[in-house]
Structure 1
Amino acid sequence: MQYWSLYFFAKFALYFNHAIKFNWYLNLLLAICVSFSFRRPRWRIAQQSIALIAAIALLYYESSLPPPARLWAEAGRMSSYSFSYLLELFARFINLGYVLVFGVMLALYMLLAERLRFSSFVFVCILCIPLLAQFGWPGQKQHIIAGAQDPGVMLNTFYAEEQDRHLSLPSIAHAAHPFDIVILQPGELGWDDLAFVDAPYPKFLNRFDLVLLNFNSATSHSAPAAKRLLRGSCGQVSDSVLSEPAAAGCALFPSLEQAGYDTAAVLNHNGRYNQFAATISAYAGTKAQEGKWGAVTMHGFDGTPVYDDYSVLSKWWNRHHAHAGGKPIALYYNSITLHDGNTLANGRAINSVQSYKPRLDKLLADFDHFITELEHAGRPVLVVLMPAHGAAMRGDQLQAAGMREIPSPKLTLVPVAIKLIGFAHTKESGPPLEVKHATSYFGVFSLLAGLMAEDAKQAGGKPWSERLQQVVETAFVSENEKIIVMRDKDGYIMRSAEDLWIKYDSN
Structure 2
Amino acid sequence: MTESVHTPATGWRWRGLAGWNLYFLFKFALLWAGYLNFHPLANLIFMAWLLLPLPGERLHTLRNWISFPVGIGLFWHDTWLLGLDSLISQGAQLTEFSLDYIVDLIARFINWKMVGVAFVMLVGWLFIAQWLRVTTISVAAMVWLNLATPGGPVLTRAPEVSAGNSHTAADQTAAAAANDIPAQTAPPTTDNLTDWLNRFYASEAKRQTNFPTALPADAQPFDLLVINICSLAWSDIQATGLDTHPLWSHFDIVFKHFNSATSYSGPAAIRLLRASCGQPSHKDLYSAAGNKCYLFENLARLGFTSQLMLDHNGVFGDMLKEIREQGGMQAPLMDQQNLPLNLHSFDGSRIYDDAAILQRWMAHSGQQPGGRSATFFNLLPLHDGNYIAGTRKTADYRTRAKKLFDELDAFLSALEKSNRKVMVLLVPEHGAALVGDKMQISGLRDIPSPSITHVPVGVKFTGMKAPHQGTPIEITQPSSFLAISELVARTVDGRNFVADTVDWNALTRGLPQSAVVSENANAVVVEYQGHPYVRLSGGDWVPYPQ
TM (norm. structure 1) is 0.91
CA–CA distance in 1 between the matches of 2:504 and 2:434?
Answer: 35
Partner of 1:334: 378
CA–CA distance in 2 between the matches of 1:278 and 1:446?
Answer: 27
Partner of 1:166: 208
What letter matches 2:485 in structure 1?
F
| Bigger mean CA deviation after superposition, 281-290 or 377-386 | 281-290
Partner of 1:57: 73
CA–CA distance in 2 between the matches of 1:410 and 1:331?
Answer: 28
Q: Secondary structure at the match of 1:387?
A: coil
CA–CA distance in 2 between the matches of 1:186 and 1:400?
Answer: 21
1:335-350 matches, within 5 Å, as 335-346=379-390, 350=393
C-alpha root-mean-square deviation of aligned residues, in Å?
Answer: 2.7
Q: CA offset at residue 49 of structure 1?
A: 3.1
CA–CA distance in 1 between the matches of 2:222 and 2:196?
Answer: 39
Indicate conservation of the 8 Å contact 1:234/1:250, yes or no: yes
CA–CA distance in 2 between the matches of 1:481 and 1:253?
Answer: 26
Q: CA offset at residue 151 of structure 1?
A: 2.5
Q: Secondary structure at the match of 1:423?
A: coil
What letter matches 2:397 in structure 1?
Y
Report the CA distance shift for 1:53/1:490 in structure 2 as closer, same or farther (over 3 A): same
1:425-504 matches, within 5 Å, as 425-428=466-469, 430-459=470-499, 462-504=502-544
Partner of 2:402: 361
Partner of 1:83: 99
1:373 aligns with 2:414: yes
What letter matches 2:404 in structure 1?
L
1:264 aligns with 2:281: no
What letter matches 1:241 in structure 2?
D
Indicate conservation of the 8 Å contact 2:496/2:502, yes or no: no
CA–CA distance in 1 between the matches of 2:187 and 2:523?
Answer: 15
Q: Indicate which of 260, 279, 289 corresponds to 1:246.
A: 289
Partner of 1:156: 198
What letter matches 1:398 in structure 2?
M
What letter matches 1:62 in structure 2?
D
Indicate conservation of the 8 Å contact 1:422/1:456, yes or no: no
Indicate conservation of the 8 Å contact 2:41/2:146, yes or no: no
Q: Secondary structure at the match of 1:419?
A: strand
1:308 aligns with 2:348: no
Q: CA offset at residue 114 of structure 1?
A: 4.6
Partner of 1:48: 64
What letter matches 1:54 in structure 2?
V
Report the CA distance shift for 1:415/1:138 in structure 2 as closer, same or farther (over 3 A): closer
Q: CA offset at residue 176 of structure 1?
A: 5.6
State the identity as a percent: 30
CA–CA distance in 2 between the matches of 1:92 and 1:45?
Answer: 35
Partner of 2:344: 299
Q: Indicate which of 266, 279, 300 corresponds to 1:236.
A: 279
Indicate conservation of the 8 Å contact 2:216/2:493, yes or no: no
CA–CA distance in 1 between the matches of 2:136 and 2:195?
Answer: 45
Structure 1 portions without partners, runs of 5+: none
CA–CA distance in 1 between the matches of 2:256 and 2:323?
Answer: 27
Q: Secondary structure at the match of 1:94?
A: coil
Partner of 2:330: 285
What letter matches 2:204 in structure 1?
E
Partner of 1:69: 85
TM (norm. structure 2) is 0.84
Indicate conservation of the 8 Å contact 1:166/1:250, yes or no: yes
Q: Secondary structure at the match of 2:119?
A: helix
CA–CA distance in 1 between the matches of 2:127 and 2:499?
Answer: 86
Q: CA offset at residue 488 of structure 1?
A: 2.8
1:141 aligns with 2:158: yes
CA–CA distance in 2 between the matches of 1:242 and 1:79?
Answer: 25
Partner of 1:392: 433
CA–CA distance in 2 between the matches of 1:58 and 1:368?
Answer: 50
Indicate conservation of the 8 Å contact 2:34/2:157, yes or no: no
1:27 aligns with 2:28: no
Q: Secondary structure at the match of 2:495?
A: coil
Q: CA offset at residue 149 of structure 1?
A: 9.6
Partner of 2:171: none
1:378-423 deviation per Cα after TM superposition (whole angstroms, max 9, x unaligned) = 3200000100111112233333332222222211111001010002
1:129-150 deviation per Cα after TM superposition (whole angstroms, max 9, x unaligned) = 224548x996343899656993
| Bigger mean CA deviation after superposition, 453-462 or 402-411 | 453-462
CA–CA distance in 1 between the matches of 2:413 and 2:498?
Answer: 23
Partner of 2:31: 15
1:95-153 deviation per Cα after TM superposition (whole angstroms, max 9, x unaligned) = 1111111112222334454544333332222112224548x996343899656993334
CA–CA distance in 2 between the matches of 1:291 and 1:270?
Answer: 9
Q: CA offset at residue 89 of structure 1?
A: 0.9
Indicate conservation of the 8 Å contact 1:442/1:472, yes or no: yes
Report the CA distance shift for 1:454/1:376 in structure 2 as closer, same or farther (over 3 A): closer
CA–CA distance in 2 between the matches of 1:318 and 1:137?
Answer: 58
Structure 2 portions without partners, runs of 5+: 1-16, 161-185
Q: CA offset at residue 196 of structure 1?
A: 1.3
Indicate conservation of the 8 Å contact 1:293/1:315, yes or no: no
Q: Secondary structure at the match of 2:141?
A: helix
| Bigger mean CA deviation after superposition, 238-247 or 491-500 | 491-500
Partner of 2:18: 2
Partner of 1:417: 458
Q: CA offset at residue 290 of structure 1?
A: 7.1
Indicate conservation of the 8 Å contact 1:145/1:501, yes or no: no
CA–CA distance in 2 between the matches of 1:356 and 1:318?
Answer: 30
1:184-223 deviation per Cα after TM superposition (whole angstroms, max 9, x unaligned) = 0101111111111123343211111111101111111111
Q: Secondary structure at the match of 1:235?
A: coil
